[in-house]
Amino acid sequence: MGPNVEVIETAELGDRSYVVHDGEVAVVVDPQRDLDRVERILARLDLRCRLVLETHIHNDYVTGGFELARRSDARYGVAAGEDVWFLREPLADGAEREVGSLRVRAVATPGHTDHHLSYVVENGDGPAAVFTGGSLLYGSVGRTDLVAADRTDELTRAQFHSARRLAAMVGDEAQIFPTHGFGSFCSSGSSTGGENSTMGQERRRNDALVEEDEESFVARLVAGLTAYPRYYAHMAGRNRRGPCAPDLSASAPVEPAELRARVRAGEWVVDLRDRAAFAAAHLPGSIGIGLGQQFSTYLGWLVPWGMPVTLVGESPEQIAEAQRQLVRIGIERPAGAAVGRPAELAAADGPAGYPRASFDDLAKARERGKAPTVLDVRREDERAAGAIPGAANIPLHALLERLDDAPRDRLWVHCASGYRAAIAASLLARAGHDVVLIDDEYSRAVELGLATG
């Protein structure tokens, strides 16, 4: 029997962390910042954490590894080649550690980062558990353009060889446990996600293992790289300094008059309600980013780094969940929070709003001889695969820098599902544009003959 592995899903960032154990002691791999999830597992299974491992210095979240090791009095394993500001157990290729009956071996797998390590963990004669971080994912590998754009080709080649080297070291029955690949922008290629995989499965489907020609692999992976969140630029530096525990205590309440003053000052007042509720009524000048799996990704992508963020929600629980998501990407504390209905928060000014529509509504408007101005806020790679002819295109992640490029007509704003379009509509309305949110699936536009794709 191989090691026991508990999976901690962070669906909001598309990542996983792991607690691997022998029933008495545990090794924790790539823990996220909110450690209460890890500590609940350790307590429930009566485990002692003795080793915390990082596969790499992360770009998409602030690690909880440094703090977990401190709290647990555990060793903290980080690649020996990494330049960090704290004492750690430096691990190089081939390094082995024993934790209870677990045997841990570090394997250098550069590509996603220069000093990336994977870990092969064995416990007796059962199949190994292989923790692959941002190297070998389910179906593909981690992206290779995060270290430096001009090194993408070099690191893609390293990623190709790392995946094949790792595959040669373990049998088909070895269990594969990546950190990325479940929706994370750290993924690349045809990452499939899924609940589990083995090395045998990966040999049959993984881009890096089924493609024998290195040049073809490099060309395909590089061609598939898309834009990634702007907040990534701040994560590695934080992780090299050894992040402390986050403060998840309740945010300071903000009165309606102060809320309106913050809007007038140009600060970000972010409404967490769903897009239909925001479109119907909201505090004028606030920004709608619905609380859900994509909330922290898009807030972190768009907000000017260091800008005070005040949260507006329907309940204290909603505010607390938003705070939890934000500390994972290094937004330590909101500038405050308000709970209430838009009419109460807007006071005498009254709430603002804008219409919602479907692609059927757009088709009917065109049938009546009208030609609404359509703004597509999908990424360039999405638009290349199909688009509404004549639609303007400003990707959501570039919208704040390109607000002056947006047509001044009434804008019917769409994306692939409505989520990004809703954020864009709120930003455009904040800037004085007249907007209609197309809250619909792009596939419906294709069905109606409005779009290609």
Question: DSSP states of 112-167 as a string?
Answer: SSTT-EEEEEE-TTS--EEEEETSB-SSSBB-S-SS-GGGHHHHHHHHHHHHHHHH
Q: What is the mean pLDDT of residues 301-314?
A: 96
In a domain, 329, yes or no: yes
284 is in which domain, residue-wise? 256-349
Please identify, among 349, 378, 397, the residue that sits at the C-terminal boundary of a domain. Answer: 349
Q: How far is C-alpha 312 from the chain's CA centre?
A: 22
Residues 58 and 186 in one domain: yes
Q: Which of 94, 260, 129 lies closest to 199 in space, CA to CA?
A: 129
Q: What is the mean pLDDT of residues 404-416?
A: 96
In a domain, 315, yes or no: yes
Residues 262 and 234 in one domain: no
Q: Which of 229, 250, 391, 256 lies closest to 322 in space, CA to CA?
A: 250
If you count them, how many residues does the chain have? 453
pLDDT at 184 over 90: no
Residues 12 and 103 in one domain: yes
In a domain, 248, yes or no: no
- Residue 190 banded pLDDT, cuts 50, 70, 90: low
Residues 146 and 35 in one domain: yes
Please identify, among 317, 349, 381, the residue that sits at the C-terminal boundary of a domain. Answer: 349
pLDDT at 376 over 80: yes
pTM for the model stands at 0.95
Residues 389 and 333 in one domain: no
Residues 93 and 164 in one domain: yes
What CA–CA distance (Å, rounded) separates 221 from 385?
A: 17
Residues 421 and 373 in one domain: yes
What CA–CA distance (Å, rounded) separates 217 from 228?
A: 21
Is the CB of residue 52 less than 8 Å from the CB of residue 70?
no
Domain tally, the chain: 3
In a domain, 68, yes or no: yes
Q: Which pLDDT does position 343 carry in this prediction?
A: 86
Q: What is the mean pLDDT of residues 172-198?
A: 86
The mean pLDDT value of the chain amounts to 95
Residues 233 and 264 in one domain: no
pLDDT at 231 over 90: yes
Residues 300 and 404 in one domain: no
Residue 16, SS3?
Answer: strand
In a domain, 30, yes or no: yes
Residues 363 and 313 in one domain: no
In a domain, 233, yes or no: yes
For residue 223, how many other CB atoms are within 10 A of its CB? 9
Residues 128 and 92 in one domain: yes
pLDDT at 193 over 70: no
Please identify, among 315, 349, 383, the residue that sits at the C-terminal boundary of a domain. Answer: 349
What CA–CA distance (Å, rounded) separates 329 from 94?
A: 32
- Residue 189 banded pLDDT, cuts 50, 70, 90: low
Output Rg (C-alpha) for the chain, integer angstroms: 24
Q: Which pLDDT does position 213 carry in this prediction?
A: 97
Residues 375 and 274 in one domain: no
User: Torsions phi, psi of 361, nearest 5?
Assistant: -60, -40
Q: How far is C-alpha 72 from the chain's CA centre?
A: 27
In a domain, 97, yes or no: yes
Look up residue 269 and give its two tokens: 């007042």
In a domain, 249, yes or no: no
